[in-house]
Amino acid sequence: MKVASSLSDLRSTRLSLDGTVGLVPTMGYLHEGHLSLVRQAKAECDHVIVTIFVNPAQFGPNEDLSKYPRDLERDLSLLRPLGVDVVWTPSAEIMYPPGYQTWVEVEALTKGLEGAMRPGHFRGVTTVVSKLFNATQPHKAYFGQKDAQQAAVIRQMTRDLNFPIEIVVCPTQREVDGLAMSSRNKYLNEAERKAATVLFRALSAAKELYEAGERDAEKLRGRMKEVLASEPPAQMQYVSCADYDTLEELDMVKGKTLLSMAVFVGKTRLIDNFVLG
Ligand code: PAF
């Protein structure tokens, strides 16, 4: 497994790879969710490139950039047995050198949900993902369903900018009690970790209602709010029942639908979602 940090090293290594390349972009502190993306990339492509870069441009001024967990040696030891060909670990200076001034922005899709709560977040994500696409020139790129809006925004950007890349969205990996795997789960203390299952419980309760025939989106949102309110350490930021493609809030559920939420458990902000239909 080649570990490259400079852009020129990455580029020359990329040139030596024949056949198809799958890219798994990450911010490190890898967990089973990331590893499942790597396994799928490995099954579908001749070569796999993983990037590890904690992208400052997607963190707001009051977010956790400086505290974001990092452990490169641990990440590399998790990737080695999976047969990854290349790990690229660029620095912030490589990605955003002095004088940097070019940004990629997807418009309507980034207005709601995470975009509304985290101004500038998706501009940072789409900019860095474009740069990672250009640097690694993959045939396919793998993202997790847990970041449902991110996946939708990247699909839109890929289409709009004609990147010749297939975007593959892989299922959310969960702990046995349903908590979606996330590098941020590390911030939770024991009591918060227990309370954090409320996201999964709220989504499951709304899904149950849907499966019993309920199609009134406000009732599904209401059910999620009710379950979240039953767990006081959890403070809801938003719940949503939206069209899967446009991410617009629904009155009535018809086709493919995204139930999603952002919840603070203590100081940790967690997101999760289910797809219906
Ligand atoms: O999902 C993430 O970890 C990040 O948003 C990504 C796609 C690696 C871009 O920094």
Number of the ligand 1 atom closest to the C-alpha atom of 125? 9
Q: pLDDT in tens for each of the 277 residues of the chain?
A: 999 999 999 999 999 999 999 999 999 999 999 999 999 999 999 999 999 999 999 999 999 999 999 999 999 999 999 999 999 999 999 999 999 999 999 999 999 999 999 999 999 999 999 999 999 999 999 999 999 999 999 999 999 999 999 999 999 999 999 999 999 999 999 999 999 999 999 999 999 999 999 999 999 999 999 999 999 999 999 999 999 999 999 999 999 999 999 999 999 999 999 999 9
pLDDT at 159: 98
How far does the centroid of ligand 1 lie from the alpha carbon of residue 29, in Å? 12
- Strand runs labelled E in 186-267: 234-243, 257-265
Domains and CATH numbers, the chain: 2-170 (3.40.50.620), 183-276 (3.30.1300.10)
Tokens, residue 72: 């490169």
How far does the centroid of ligand 1 lie from the alpha carbon of residue 125, in Å? 6
List active site positions: 34
Buried b (16+ CB within 10 A) or exposed e, 150-174: bbbbbbbbbeeeebebebbbbebbb
pLDDT at 56: 98
Number of the ligand 1 atom closest to the C-alpha atom of 51? 8
DSSP 180: B
Residue 271 CA to residue 150 CA, distance in Å, equals: 12
